[in-house]
Amino acid sequence: MLTHPQRIRMRLLQVADGGLFALALWVAYLLRVTGVDWFRWQALEPGAGYLWLAPVVAVLGPLVLAGQGFYESPRPPHRLRALFALLRSCSFTVVGLILLLFLLRLQIARSVIILVGAIGGPLVYLRYELAFRLLSRDFALTQLRRRALWVGRPDENRQLRATLTRIERDTLADSGDFDPATQPLGEFVRLLHEQSVNVVILNLAGVDRAQATQVLAACATEGVEVLVRPGLAALPSGHVTVDQFGGEAVLYYRAQSAPLGHLLVKQLLDYAAAALLLVLLAPLLGLIALVIRLTSPGPALYRQVRAGLNGRSFRMLKFRSMQFDAESQQAGLADRNEMRGPVFKVTADPRVTPFGRCLRRHSLDELPQLWNVLRGEMSLVGPRPLPLHEVQRFDQDTHRRRLSVKPGLTCLWQISGRNDIADFEDWVRLDLAYIDQWSLWLDCKILLATLPVALFGRGGR
């Protein structure tokens, strides 16, 4: 793929930055132990306790930089954006290291950790400027660009060229077009030789199977890489990968563009956090259950079948905040529904008990769903799960895309007004924005923003 060289260069830059952060740790330690005499190597011996931090810093620094988009803006017009990303990354790295030391109960000088960010940041920025100046030289641009021959109908090739990003255009040296419908295969081979082509861009739109097979066979013989454009429209927010199925190459359209590794981290964090919170909050959960049983007839827990990932049903748990027969009374309140769309919401719902109103205002009724998270049916952050009968009333296909991820305890809707949002379209818009922009950092921000919302009861009723 055309992006592979950029990815390789980005990995090399990340390795270099990891080394610079490790160097910053060494310099920070020397500054603390030996003052201005930085080159007394024998002073490193008593600091063996710091050695294990070197690989941690070398990995954590580049990871945070990548998360802040530092490696996506290698050009001078984006120098200021890169600088701010670097400052944020150094701050997050320092805070992360301090939290790690606190959790591990290790006594390591905080000044050394702070100096890692203060020294590592300038070192990485110097590398950033040096790399740009080297890669901007004519020789580097010539060596880095790939000579590309476009195979397909000329009009389709023109359209594809027009859609290239600036970075994609910068990586290519255009070697012209070859139309297999009007030119013999020998002409294609001649162009490969004369232009010293590195990659062939095979545009399948308007090219029949026999012609494409001949081009692929010639490229295999010549040892030239091929990028195949199938001419299929990608899903709006999809992430496309190439896989094998039935012995043939296939395109795999994923509904979510998030990296699989990040999704795995999210799942592991869900399990760990849910288990920990269930243990820590056990006394509070027991107290709430007792008060519910004492203040209104019926069980403490309310179970309802909701739509989970891709619409699969599961039994969601809540603390009961309504009268025991609340569901049978809903039909009589249909004319008071304030939510435009398939969802049912009523201000001052007469079915809510006095203690239930308090639970709902502060989202305490949702705490039993930590068990659903531990079971893998929900996540800490994700679109709120809806009852099956409301999902069945969806009148737009886009509404179902909110089911493409696991439902969550909290979401953008929860921190953006909750019940103050009266239009289901706004609710869906927030959920789809979360799905399309998902990252681990976004989950952290939503969880942090949920705390004051729940504590002060904003938008809850």
Structure tokens at 164: 């290239």
Q: What spatial distance separates the first Cα and last Cα of the chain, rounded to whole Å?
A: 52
- Rounded to whole angstroms, how far apart are CA atoms 114 and 116? 5
* Per-residue pLDDT tens over the stretch 167-176: 677 777 788 8
pLDDT by residue (tens digit) across 47-66? Answer: 446 677 888 888 888 888 88
Mean pLDDT of the chain: 80
Instruction: Output the tens digit of pLDDT for each of the chain's 461 residues.
Output: 445 556 677 788 888 899 999 898 888 888 776 654 444 433 444 444 667 788 888 888 888 888 887 876 545 446 777 888 888 888 888 888 888 887 777 777 777 888 888 888 899 988 888 877 766 555 444 556 778 899 988 888 888 888 887 667 777 778 889 998 889 988 998 988 888 888 888 988 878 888 888 898 888 888 888 888 887 765 554 567 777 777 777 777 776 767 777 888 899 999 999 999 999 999 999 999 999 999 888 899 999 999 988 888 899 999 998 887 767 666 666 666 666 666 666 666 778 888 888 888 888 999 999 999 999 999 999 999 988 888 888 877 778 888 888 999 998 877 776 556 667 777 888 888 888 888 888 999 999 888 888 887 665 55
Q: Please report the domains of the chain, with CATH numbers, ordered by start residue.
A: 4-138 (no CATH), 145-231 (3.40.50.10700), 260-456 (no CATH)
Q: Are 307 and 391 in contact (CB under 8 A)?
A: yes
- Nearby residues of 451 by Cβ (< 8 Å), 6 or more positions away: none
282's tokens:
């056990």
Q: What is the pLDDT of residue 272?
A: 93
On whether the CB atoms of residues 411 and 402 are closer than 8 A, the answer is: no
pTM above 0.85, yes or no: no
Instruction: In whole angstroms, give the CA distance from residue 457 to residue 455.
Output: 6
Find out whether 396 and 388 touch, Cβ atoms under 8 Å. Answer: no
For residues 364 and 370, what is the distance between their CA atoms, to the nearest angstrom?
11
Q: Mapping DSSP to helix (H, G, I), strand (E, B) and coil, where does residue 328 land?
A: helix
